[in-house]
Amino acid sequence: MKIIRNAKIYTADTNQQTATAMVIKDGKILWIGQEEYLPAYQGNIIDGQGKVIIPGIIDAHMHPIMLADVLEQVACLPPHIHSIEGMLVALEKYDASQRGWILGWGYDEGKLNERRAPLKEDLDRASRALPIIVMRTCGHIISVNSKALAIAGITKDTPDPQGGQIDRDENGEPTGVLRENARNLVLQHLPTPSEDEIVTRLLKLSQTLASYGVTSITELMATVAPIDYLTLYRKAREKGFKQRVAAYYIWEDIQKYELLTADNLDRSTGAYIGGIKLFSDGSVSGRTALVAEPFLGGEERGIAMTSKEELLAAAAVTKEHGIQSSSCDGGQSY
């Protein structure tokens, strides 16, 4: 039994919003209140030294495997990067020996001095020999160089995929900016990290999350191939991953594989399927969210990525299995 005293405890209870002491037994709070009313419990007394204790934070919309990955890439956002020129300098310094690709993330054209997304001509200045991918802050758009376009076979004659858009110049040539499902034309060519590599990154991320008080997370875009996400999280937990994980599998994989089994839905495992993920449309800041009126300064009205019929079908499955649905709509998750 642990007895914590002399602390500033925020309870999230409207009837008793703060406390100064609490008693913990077998991982559960047995008693909480003001220290002067602390019952005569026997146990290990811990002096909180006036420090703040808060309930564990639940992050309801994360992409932890992707986050663990991008933390090893070039951060292309303030306070590190303020311009495309600065981005190119950082990308040139990136060690691509492990992957063979130069990778960056986090740019927002609204925060860059040039007030535009990096194009293939820009990224070509960082490297023509190696493929480059820089992900926008919303995650719905990427910018790539000519080498990446060539690897993906994207040319003037490549049609836009369903639910995606290849940006083109006045001559119809790809600019290097790929929106929504068009991203996958390039992303599918990235080398797949091994299971052990992903688990190692997750363990490092877990320490970072724990340092901020995050105790439970969601994986809002779980997939089966090339490596099953639930398998990865369960292996990571076996090796010390601290957070509970609710995985939301993409609708396509729910339809393709038998995922909604009793074992996969078992919350007592600490890593389980919590819902289904669909994309209704894109992001507001990326101008791919579906809107009735065009975005200011252009004719874009967004990109519809999933039909109404698919949304209703997924909702029926979630109701049947007692799980949730998450539809990414305008950059938000519902």
Separation of CA 100 from chain center? 23
Q: How far apart are CA 280 and CA 282, in angstroms?
A: 7
The greatest distance separating any two alpha carbons of the chain, rounded to the nearest whole angstrom, comes to 80
The pair of three-digit structure tokens given for residue 89, joined into one six-digit string? 């300098």
At 11-30, the pLDDT tens digits run 989 999 999 999 999 989 99
pLDDT of 126: 98
At 149-172, the pLDDT tens digits run 999 999 999 999 999 999 999 999
Q: Give backbone dihedrals phi and psi of 43, rounded to 5 degrees, phi first.
A: 170, -170
pLDDT of 23: 97
pLDDT tops 70 at residue 310: yes
Domains of the chain: 2-55 (2.30.40.10), 65-187 (3.10.310.70), 195-333 (3.20.20.140)
pLDDT of 40: 92
pLDDT tops 70 at residue 97: yes
At 240-283, the pLDDT tens digits run 999 999 999 999 999 999 999 999 999 999 999 999 999 888 88
At 188-239, the pLDDT tens digits run 999 989 999 999 999 999 999 999 999 999 999 999 999 999 999 999 999 9
pTM for this prediction: 0.77
pLDDT tops 60 at residue 313: yes
